């Protein structure tokens, strides 16, 4: 049974397996991404209904820029049309939208719609939906280090004050609590440069299901598994 009093506050998901799902059906890879967006929508709605407060989806990595040009363009177009089509629904469902990553590298027309939806959902306060776009965990840490270095050089911060608590303030989304549960679909047992700083004590859940097959019931199964774990954060618990 799902314990509604022990729902993870922040769930992060690596949505892997779209390409393989399409290949198995002799479809082009982009068809896997198209169905992948439908699953993302189902999981966003389910997360809100379950009372999850933060949902971070890994939609495009710093490494994904190296995919064939057509696939990158398709993913960008998909993102733009998703946001355009869903802006109203996000507001009506009280879902606050945000992004993390090197967003400045995205095409201008994608950035424009992102900025608009971030603004128009700013006051929403049920689920926080965070898309990781042009995101890499190492890049995030490097970007934070650079921002801190420039503040130290400017004399705003002294070197002695740089500690973990200060560092966090320079990550892409310092206001977001660390993920309680990280789910990866698609069968690979690795992190692939996602949220490296934030997942130090996150519970990890891997499933062979390909992302276009991952449903609300699969999300519930992952949360049930999470609820069986004892979280000690490096401490001893009697």
Beta carbon nearer to ligand FPP, 55 or 148: 55
Catalytic, 3? Answer no
Question: For ligand FPP, which residue has the nearest CB?
Answer: 19
Beta carbon nearer to ligand FPP, 64 or 227: 64
Least Cβ distance, residue 43 to ligand FPP (angstroms): 9
Beta carbon nearer to ligand FPP, 70 or 161: 70
* Of 6, 16, 143, 180, catalytic: 16
Contact 45, 118 (CB under 8 A): no
Alpha-carbon distance of 200 to 214, in angstroms, equals 25
Q: 231 exposed, middle or buried (CB, 10 Å; 0-12, 13-18, 19+)?
A: exposed
Least Cβ distance, residue 31 to ligand FPP (angstroms): 11
Catalytic, 16? Answer yes
Least Cβ distance, residue 154 to ligand FPP (angstroms): 38
Contact 130, 176 (CB under 8 A): yes
Cα angle 209, 34, 97; round to 5:
90
* Of 64, 143, 213, 218, catalytic: 64
Least Cβ distance, residue 223 to ligand FPP (angstroms): 20
Applying CB under 6 A, which residues contact ligand FPP?
Answer: 15-20, 33, 36-37, 40, 57, 59, 64, 79, 82, 186, 211
Residue 23 token pair: 């290949």
Contact 226, 202 (CB under 8 A): no
Beta carbon nearer to ligand FPP, 148 or 186: 186
Alpha-carbon distance of 39 to 207, in angstroms, equals 15
Among the listed residues 116, 15, 31, 99, the one whose alpha carbon sits nearest the alpha carbon of residue 64: 15
Residues designated as active site: 16, 64
């Amino acid at each position: 049974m799902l314990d509604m009093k022990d729902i993870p506050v922040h769930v992060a998901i690596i949505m892997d397996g779209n390409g393989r799902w399409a290949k198995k059906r002799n479809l082009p890879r982009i068809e896997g991404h198209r169905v992948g967006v439908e699953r993302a929508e189902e999981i966003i709605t389910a997360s809100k209904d379950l009372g999850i407060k933060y949902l971070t989806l890994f939609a495009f990595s710093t490494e994904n820029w190296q995919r064939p040009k057509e696939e990158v363009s398709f993913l960008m177009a998909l993102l733009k049309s998703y946001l355009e089509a869903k802006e109203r629904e996000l507001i009506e469902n009280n879902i606050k939208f945000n992004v993390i990553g090197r967003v400045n590298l995205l095409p201008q027309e994608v950035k424009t719609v992102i900025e608009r939806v971030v603004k128009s959902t700013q006051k929403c306060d049920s689920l926080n939906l965070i898309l990781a776009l042009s995101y890499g965990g190492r890049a995030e840490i490097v970007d934070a280090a650079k921002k801190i270095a420039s503040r130290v050089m400017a004399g705003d911060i002294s070197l002695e004050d740089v500690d973990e608590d200060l560092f966090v303030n320079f990550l892409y989304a310092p206001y977001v609590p660390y993920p309680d549960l990280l789910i990866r679909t698609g069968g690979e047992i690795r992190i692939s440069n996602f949220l490296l700083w934030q997942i130090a004590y996150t519970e990890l859940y891997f499933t062979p299901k390909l992302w276009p097959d991952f449903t609300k019931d699969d999300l519930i199964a992952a949360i049930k598994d999470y609820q069986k774990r004892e979280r000690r954060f490096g401490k001893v618990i009697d």
